[in-house]
Amino acid sequence: MDVKKIFKLRAGYQDLLIPFLSIITSLVIGAIIIYASGANVYAAYKGLWQGSFGNARTIAETFVSTTPYILTGLAVAFGFRCGLFNIGAEGQLYAGALAAAYIGYAWRGLPHFIHLPIAIIAGIIAGGIWGAIPGYLKAKTGAHEVINTIMMNHIMIRLTDYLVKNPMLDPKASVPRTAYILKSAYLPKIFPGFRLHWGFILAIIAIFLIYYILFKTKVGFEIRTVGLNQDAARYAGMNISKNFVLAMAISGGLAGLAGAGEVLGLNYNLPAAFVSGFGFDAIAIALLAKSNPFAVFPSAMLWAALRNGAGLMQVRAKISIDLVNIIQAFVIMFIAAPNIVRYLYRIRAEREKAGVLLTKGWGQ
């Protein structure tokens, strides 16, 4: 028994160690790239730090970006748990933003405690529907969700562009955007003077809720079983198709909530130039968190810090913000292939735990 306990502790320790070393190694690679392109590594990383955690305002801003990262990260992680790779969080986020914006400006005369929840729920439902479509297609036709979600991202971005420039256009605006949402649909700020809004609290609640759904309910048990072994799930009488659609709908709903939060808490309108990128980074966040809802929080924070700090880094060290993308790609690579990290740091492999295998060919 004692030996077993030690083993378990060690396993937990490696679960933290590998992500940590992955991040460090990626930052080192980033440093090499900065150095190679002739910039000052210290200034760059100092800028990165100060831009994300330098003072109260930047910290609050980091949490502002953390909010959609948590929600989209949870979205992708939830899909992973059902064996689905949702690359479409970006499109689902747009769908949520569109719906929330529309309810926000078009439904007039509602009190705050009704208007805001309706706008939020509309965002969740819109994202959910946009997510459920590739889930349905996978369930019924075996079409791989990776390609379909990417295609639906492209379609949604075009659709948003069309809607914002045509039926939803605010004719008074100088740049193409929707009308401003009404005050009654605002997500309130948490602290006066800072942009951090109640969407952050919703994201934290979502973490607990998703944990509860996944590990304490029948639905979660089914989704996890389908994710780990579809044949066994079918044998146990679970409906695979239903779970695919449901998991993608919940996943899309989370991303939709992220989009609603951006509109209702931050922008108060939806511009045609709306570019989030949260949905793509979410893949890395979910992988880094190993699809654990609680671990999504620190991963999301890291990504938010990189995103927010990049601006100051660019100013201070004249290094392109794209460096952050490169660092992020390396983080995912090391997380996905832990053997590279183990090799680099001479860590002995523990018993390989079964992960989520996504690659199952293009059809059933």
Partner 1 sequence: MSKDNHMSEEILSLKGVVKSFPGVLANDHIDFSLKKGEIHTLLGENGAGKTTLMNILYGLYTPDEGEIFIDGQKVIIHSPADALSHGIGMVHQHFMLIPNMSVCENIILGNESKKRGLIDEEQATGRIETLSEKYKFSLNPGDMVKDLPIGMQQKVEILKALYREATVLILDEPTAVLTPQESEELFEILRSLKDEGKSIIFISHKLKEVLEISDIITVLRDGKAIGSVRPDQTDEGHLANMMVGREVILKVHKEKMHKGKPVLEVNDLTVFDRRGVSVVNGINFNVHSGEIYGVAGVQGNGQTELVEALTGLLPFVSGEVIIDGAKIEGDNPREVFERGTAHIPEDRHKYGLVLPYPIRDNLVLCSYYHKPFSKRLALNFPVIIEKSSKLLKEFDIKASSILDITETLSGGNQQKTVVARELGREVKLLIAAQPTRGLDVGSIEYIHKKIVETRDAGCAVLLVSSELDEILSLSDTIGVIYKGQIVKTLSSEEATKEQLGLLMAGILEKT
Partner 2 sequence: MEKSNYKTIVFSALTIILNLLIIRFSFRFLGQDLKSIIGFGKLGSISVFTGRTIFILACLGLAGSIFPLVRRLEKFINLSFFVTAFVAVATLILWAGIDSKFDIVGLLALSLRLSTPIVLGALSGILCERTGVINIAIEGMMLTAACIGFTAALYLGNIWLGLICAVVSGAVMSLLHAFLSVTMITDQIISGTVINILAVGLTGFIRRSFLIRARLSRTAILPIITVPLLAKIPIIGAIIFTNQPIVFMMMGLVALITILLFKTRWGLRTRSIGEHPEAADTVGINVFKMKYQNVMLGGMLAGLAGAWFSLETTGSFDDLMTNGKGFIALAAMIFGKWHPVGAFTGGLIFGFSDALQIIFQIKGIPIPPQFLWMLPYLITMVVLAGVIGKSTPPAADGKPYIKR
Return the one option of partner 2, partner 1, none that residue 155 interacts with (CB less than 5 to 8 A, by type).
partner 2
Nearest approach in angstroms of CB 360 to partner 2 is 6
Closest by CA position to 55, among listed 201, 262, 261, 194 = 194
Number of residues binding to partner 2, judged by CB under 8 A: 54
Closest by CA position to 340, among listed 296, 10, 295, 332 = 332
Closest by CA position to 186, among listed 260, 257, 102, 265 = 265
Q: Is the dihedral of CA 148, 285, 277, 67 positive or negative?
A: positive
Q: Is 5 in the site for partner 1 (CB under 8 A)?
A: no
Burial state string for 269-286 with b = 16 or more CB within 10 A and e = fewer than 16: bbbbebebebbbbbbbbb
Nearest approach in angstroms of CB 200 to partner 2 is 26
Q: Is 330 in the site for partner 2 (CB under 8 A)?
A: yes
Per-residue mark of binding to partner 1, 200-229 (x: CB under 8 A)? ----------------xxxx-x---x--xx
Per-residue mark of binding to partner 2, 74-113 (x: CB under 8 A)? -----------x-x--------------------------
Number of residues binding to partner 1, judged by CB under 8 A: 20
Return the one option of partner 2, partner 1, none that residue 353 interacts with (CB less than 5 to 8 A, by type).
partner 1
Q: Is 235 in the site for partner 1 (CB under 8 A)?
A: yes
Q: What is the CA radius of gyration of the chain?
A: 21
Q: Is 201 in the site for partner 2 (CB under 8 A)?
A: no
- In this structure, are residues 238 and 225 in contact, taking their beta carbons and an 8 Å threshold? yes
Q: Is the dihedral of CA 332, 334, 335, 336 positive or negative?
A: positive
Binding residues for partner 1, rule: CB under 8 A, are 1, 4, 216-219, 221, 225, 228-229, 231-237, 351, 353-354
